[in-house]
Amino acid sequence: MAFDEYDSQNRIFTNVGTRPVRPDGIDKVTGRAMFGADMSAPGMLWGAVLRSPHAHARIRSIDTSKAEALTQVKAVVTRADFNEGASQQDVLDNCMAGEKVLYDGHALAAVAATSRRAAEKALRLIEVDYDVLPHVTDVDAAMKPDAPVIRESGGDESVPDGFSKNVMSMCEFGHGDVEKGFAEADLVMEKSFKTAAAHQGYIEPHACLASLGNDGRGELWVCTQGHFYIRNLCADVVGIDSTQLRVVASEIGGGFGGKTTVFIEPVALALSRKANRPVKIMMTRSEVFRATGPTSSTSMDVKIGMKRDGTITAGLAVNRFQGGAYPGSPVDMGAMCSFACYALENVLSVGYDVVCNRPKQAAYRAPGSPMAAFAVESVIDSLCQELDLDPVEVRLKNASREGTKASYGPRWPQIGLVETLRAAKNHPHYSAPLGPNQGRGLACGFWFNHGGETSVSLALSQDGTVALSVGTPDIGGSRASMCLMAAEELGIPYEKVRATVVDTASLGYNDVSHGSRVTYASGLATIKAARDAKQKLCGRAAKIWGIPEEAVVWEDGMAKPAGHNAGEHDPLPFAELCRSMGQTGGPISGHFEATPEGAGVSFATHLVDAEVDPETGATRVTRYTVCQDAGKAIHPAYVEGQFQGGAAQGIGWALNEEYIYGEDGRLQNAGFLDYRIPVASDLPMIDTEIVEVPNPGHPYGVRGVGETSIVPPLAAIANAVSRAAGVRMTELPMSPPRILKALKDRDG
Query: Among 677, 690, 727, 732, which residue sits at the site for other proteins (rule: CB under 8 A)?
Result: 677
The amino acid at 672: F
Query: Among 268, 275, 344, 648, which residue sits at the site for other proteins (rule: CB under 8 A)?
Result: 648
H or E element: which one contains 490?
helix 478-490
Inter-residue contact 430 to 685 (CB < 8 Å): no
H or E element: which one contains 530?
helix 523-545
Residue number, 391 or 706, with CB nearest to other proteins: 706
Give Cα 365 distance to the centre of its chain: 3
CA distance 102 to 74: 28
Q: Where are the beta strands (DSSP E) in 30-161?
A: 45-51, 57-63, 73-77, 100-101, 107-113, 127-132
Check residue 124 for interaction with other proteins (CB under 8 A). yes
CB of 695 to other proteins, least distance (A): 11
Closest by CA position to 621, among listed 709, 507, 473, 734: 734
CB of 515 to other proteins, least distance (A): 3
Scanning 436-444, 527-535, 558-566, 638-646 for contacts with other proteins by CB under 8 A, the matching segment is 638-646
Query: Among 105, 201, 218, 324, which residue sits at the site for other proteins (rule: CB under 8 A)?
Result: 201
Check residue 666 for interaction with other proteins (CB under 8 A). no
Residue number, 238 or 648, with CB nearest to other proteins: 648
Q: Write the CA distances from 25 to 31, 38, 289, 666, integer angstroms.
A: 10, 17, 29, 41
Check residue 203 for interaction with other proteins (CB under 8 A). yes
Residue number, 515 or 561, with CB nearest to other proteins: 515
Can you state the percent helix, strand and coil of the chain, rounding each to 5?
Answer: 30, 25, 45
Check residue 682 for interaction with other proteins (CB under 8 A). yes
All residues at 6 or more sequence positions from 201 whose CB lies less than 8 Å from its CB, including other chains:
254, 256, 649, 652, 657, 675, 677
Residue number, 397 or 676, with CB nearest to other proteins: 676
Query: Among 363, 711, 718, 732, which residue sits at the site for other proteins (rule: CB under 8 A)?
Result: 363
The amino acid at 172: E
CA distance 586 to 459: 12
Scanning 76-84, 190-198, 314-322, 640-648 for contacts with other proteins by CB under 8 A, the matching segment is 640-648
H or E element: which one contains 460?
strand 454-460
Inter-residue contact 503 to 249 (CB < 8 Å): yes
Scanning 388-396, 555-563, 564-572, 666-674 for contacts with other proteins by CB under 8 A, the matching segment is 666-674
CB of 275 to other proteins, least distance (A): 18
Check residue 17 for interaction with other proteins (CB under 8 A). no
Check residue 637 for interaction with other proteins (CB under 8 A). yes
Site for other proteins in 482-541 (CB under 8 A): 514-517
CB of 14 to other proteins, least distance (A): 20
H or E element: which one contains 349?
strand 347-354
CB of 558 to other proteins, least distance (A): 31
Scanning 196-204, 486-494, 530-538, 581-589 for contacts with other proteins by CB under 8 A, the matching segment is 196-204
Query: Among 475, 527, 578, 711, which residue sits at the site for other proteins (rule: CB under 8 A)?
Result: 475
CB of 208 to other proteins, least distance (A): 14
Scanning 359-367, 436-444, 456-464, 529-537 for contacts with other proteins by CB under 8 A, the matching segment is 359-367
Check residue 100 for interaction with other proteins (CB under 8 A). no
Check residue 694 for interaction with other proteins (CB under 8 A). no
Number of residues that bind other proteins (CB under 8 A): 129
Site for other proteins in 139-178 (CB under 8 A): 156-158, 170-175
Binding mask 40-79 for other proteins (x = CB under 8 A): x---------------------------------------
CB of 535 to other proteins, least distance (A): 24
Closest by CA position to 604, among listed 365, 310, 253: 365
CB of 41 to other proteins, least distance (A): 13
From first CA to last CA, the distance across the chain in angstroms is 61
Query: Among 218, 239, 253, 305, which residue sits at the site for other proteins (rule: CB under 8 A)?
Result: 253
Inter-residue contact 410 to 568 (CB < 8 Å): no
Q: Which residues pair with residue 222 across a beta bridge?
A: 208, 249
Residue number, 109 or 384, with CB nearest to other proteins: 109
Site for other proteins in 396-415 (CB under 8 A): 408-413
For residues 99, 101, 102, 103, the Cα torsion angle rounded to the nearest 10 degrees is: 180
Angle at CA of residue 621, ends 618 and 671, nearest 5°? 65
Query: Among 210, 366, 417, 499, which residue sits at the site for other proteins (rule: CB under 8 A)?
Result: 366
Query: Among 105, 148, 155, 205, which residue sits at the site for other proteins (rule: CB under 8 A)?
Result: 205
Check residue 35 for interaction with other proteins (CB under 8 A). yes
Residue number, 229 or 554, with CB nearest to other proteins: 229
Site for other proteins in 447-466 (CB under 8 A): 447-453
Q: Write the CA distances from 208 to 44, 282, 345, integer angstroms.
A: 12, 7, 51
Query: Among 707, 714, 723, 725, which residue sits at the site for other proteins (rule: CB under 8 A)?
Result: 707
Closest by CA position to 518, among listed 205, 252, 199: 252
CB of 597 to other proteins, least distance (A): 5
Give Cα 120 distance to the centre of its chain: 31
Residue number, 273 or 280, with CB nearest to other proteins: 280
Site for other proteins in 318-337 (CB under 8 A): 332-333, 336
All residues at 6 or more sequence positions from 546 whose CB lies less than 8 Å from its CB, including other chains:
none
Binding mask 581-620 for other proteins (x = CB under 8 A): --------------x-xxx---------------xxxx-x
Length of the chain: 748
Query: Among 184, 669, 726, 731, which residue sits at the site for other proteins (rule: CB under 8 A)?
Result: 669
Rg (CA), the chain: 27
All residues at 6 or more sequence positions from 50 whose CB lies less than 8 Å from its CB, including other chains:
107, 108, 109, 110, 111, 123, 126, 128
Helical ranges in 124-263 per DSSP H: 139-143, 178-184, 227-238
CA distance 625 to 621: 11
CB of 61 to other proteins, least distance (A): 23
Q: Could you check whether the bond before residue 684 is cis, i.e. omega within 30 degrees of 0?
A: no
CB of 439 to other proteins, least distance (A): 19
Site for other proteins in 711-740 (CB under 8 A): 735-737, 740
Site for other proteins in 255-314 (CB under 8 A): 255-258, 260, 282, 284-286
Query: Among 324, 445, 477, 694, which residue sits at the site for other proteins (rule: CB under 8 A)?
Result: 477
For residues 112, 115, 118, 124, the Cα torsion angle rounded to the nearest 10 degrees is: 50
CB of 473 to other proteins, least distance (A): 10
CB of 36 to other proteins, least distance (A): 9
Closest by CA position to 273, among listed 244, 251, 233: 244
Residue number, 46 or 82, with CB nearest to other proteins: 46
CA distance 330 to 363: 8
CB of 300 to other proteins, least distance (A): 17
Check residue 180 for interaction with other proteins (CB under 8 A). no
Residue number, 200 or 455, with CB nearest to other proteins: 200
Q: Is 348 exposed, middle or buried (0-12, 13-18, 19+ CB in 10 A)?
A: buried
Scanning 246-254, 417-425, 462-470, 550-558 for contacts with other proteins by CB under 8 A, the matching segment is 246-254
Query: Residues 100-128, buried b or exposed e (16+ Cβ, 10 A)?
Result: bbbbbbbbbbbbbbbebebbbbbbebbeb
